[in-house]
Amino acid sequence: MFVFKAAVVGAGTMGGEIAQVCAAAGVDVVLKDVEQKFVDQGLQKAEQVTKGQLGGLVKKEKITQEQADQQAEEILGRIDGTTTYDRFGDVDFVIEAVPERMQIKHAVFAELDAVTPGHAIISSNTSALSITEMAEATTRPDRVLGFHFFWPASVMRLIEVIEGEETSEETMQAGVNFAQQIRKTPIRCAEAPGFVVNRILNSGAAEIWRTQEEEGIDPKEIDKAIGESKALPMGPFFLADMVGLDTTLHVAEHLHEAYGDERFYVHKGMKELVEAGNLGQKTGKGFYEHGN
């Protein structure tokens, strides 16, 4: 199946950039959120990423500023921001990127099932929730799958294509093909807790979180040491702030529940920050002050 038109539901930390990735690959995309201000934030993110990427090409003298302006207009012109489902009637592939709560996902999947054409594939960018459970809210569980991008979606190449219990082979293949169509590298995964990447990433992060709390080390000092060592592009506390502490905590709790205390760890300080509504970069405060 070739995807002529995609839709992204949820224009937050991930959604705006996911829409940009689709548009930059030549795919028309509807970007929906519940309020216009969130849609606008997603569109701004898409514009910032597009201009940044094209600006880089101008700097390297691969294209002129005039070409960059024209390409930016074309890419951004493919993204249709909205707060309604009015233009979902001809979409081929939907990527849901609403908050990581099954109740919200279920409601959105039922809505998407009603407003999209029968052939459309409905996917979730979930980090840890069950694809099978989301599919139960639809009449097409064979056409539901996980389609898991990584932050920042415009930069990270990998997409985990996740098979729910009812996902058909044809749908899995369509997911792999669409990932390639938008210039990403797909890997197929079973519906295992943490899939592949978060299981690996969190096993390392959990050791650092545990040591930080046991030894009372300043998280910023840890991030600084890791940054200076160049072992990783950024330390785990800054990364958690950028990803969103609610999302990071949810994944950590899920892995801890699935695999136990020996392998995973839930950072108590992170939990307290989330309970106080401090979710990192998106709310302006987390382990760091972000001054939004």
Q: Which residues are catalytic?
A: 148
CA–CA dist 244, 106 (Å, integer)? 21
Which of 6, 10, 80, 281 contacts ligand NAD by CB under 6 A? Answer: 10
Contact between 38 and ligand NAD by CB under 6 A: the answer reads yes
Q: How many Cβ atoms from other residues are within 10 Å of residue 73's Cβ?
A: 10
Closest listed residue to residue 82, CA positions, set 153, 28, 21 = 28
Of the listed pieces 27-35, 84-92, 214-222, 229-237, which binds ligand NAD according to CB under 6 A?
Answer: 27-35
Of the listed pieces 57-65, 144-152, 210-218, 252-260, which binds ligand NAD according to CB under 6 A?
Answer: 144-152
Which of 71, 99, 136, 193 contacts ligand NAD by CB under 6 A? Answer: 99
The answer to whether residues 157 and 184 touch, using CB atoms and an 8 Å cutoff, is: yes
Please report how close the Cβ of residue 121 comes to ligand NAD at its closest, in angstroms: 17
Please report how close the Cβ of residue 33 comes to ligand NAD at its closest, in angstroms: 4
Contact between 100 and ligand NAD by CB under 6 A: the answer reads yes
* # residues contacting ligand NAD (CB under 6 A): 28
Report the residue number, 31 or 68, with the smaller CB distance to ligand NAD. Answer: 31
Of the listed pieces 4-12, 73-81, 217-225, 253-261, which binds ligand NAD according to CB under 6 A?
Answer: 4-12
Closest listed residue to residue 174, CA positions, set 17, 64, 182 = 182
Contact between 15 and ligand NAD by CB under 6 A: the answer reads yes
Which of 2, 4, 26, 34 contacts ligand NAD by CB under 6 A? Answer: 34
Contact between 149 and ligand NAD by CB under 6 A: the answer reads yes
Report the residue number, 105 or 140, with the smaller CB distance to ligand NAD. Answer: 105
Contact between 108 and ligand NAD by CB under 6 A: the answer reads yes
Please report how close the Cβ of residue 227 comes to ligand NAD at its closest, in angstroms: 19
Rule CB under 6 A: which residues touch ligand NAD? 9-15, 32-34, 38, 97-100, 104, 108, 125-127, 148-151, 243-244, 247, 282
